[in-house]
Amino acid sequence: MTSETSGARPPRILLRSAWQTVNIGDVAHTPGMLALLEKHLPDVEVQLWPSAVDNGVEAQITARFPRVRIWEKTAENFAAAVAHNDFLLHGSGPKLMGAPEIARWAQSGKPYGILGITLQETDEETVRLLSGAEFAYFRDSVSLARAREVGVRAPVTAFAPDSAFAADLFDETPARAFLDAHGLEDGRFLCCLSRLRVSPYWDIYDRPMSAQDRRDHAHNERMKEQDHAPLRAAIEAVVRETGLKVLLSPEDSSQMRISRENVYDRLPSDVRDRVVWREDFWSLGEALSVHARSAGLFGNEMHSPIMAVGHGVPALVCRWEEQTSKGFMWHDIGLGDWLFDMDDPASAAGVAPAVLRVAADPAAARARAEEARDRVHRMQEESMRILAGALDAARGR
Cβ-contact 89, 394 below 8 angstroms:
no
Which amino acid does the sequence have at 278?
R
Q: What is the mean pLDDT of residues 218-227?
A: 98
**Which residues are CB-contacts of 125 (< 8 A; sequence separation ≥ 6)?**
99, 103
State the pTM of this model: 0.95
**Tell me: the pLDDT tens digits for 171-196?**
999 999 999 999 999 999 999 999 99
Whether 18 and 50 have beta carbons less than 8 Å apart is answered as: yes
Distance CA 315, CA 305 (A): 5
Residue 268 has pLDDT above 70, yes or no: yes
The closest of 251, 197, 216, 324 to 21, measured between CA atoms, is: 251
What are the boundaries of each domain within the chain? 3-166+376-396, 172-374
Judge whether residue 247 has pLDDT over 90: yes
User: Domain 172-374 belongs to what topology?
Assistant: Rossmann fold (3.40.50)
Q: CA-to-CA distance for 118 and 96, rounded, in angstroms? A: 8
**Spatial CB neighbours of 287, under 8 Å, sequence gap ≥ 6:** 24, 249, 251, 304, 307
Give me the percent of the chain exceeding a pLDDT of 90: 96
pLDDT tens across 142-176, in order? 999 999 999 999 999 999 999 999 999 999 999 99
Distance CA 270, CA 265 (A): 12
The rounded mean pLDDT for the chain is 96
- Cα–Cα distance for residue pair 289/382, rounded to 1 Å: 28
253-275 burial, b for 16+ CB within 10 Å, e for fewer?
bbbbebbbebbbeebeeebbebb
Q: What are phi and psi of 177, to 5 degrees?
A: -65, -40
**pLDDT at res. 75:** 86
Q: What is the CATH number of domain 3-166+376-396?
A: 3.40.50.2000
Kindly tell me if the per-residue pLDDT of 261 is higher than 90.
Answer: yes
The type of residue at 149 is E
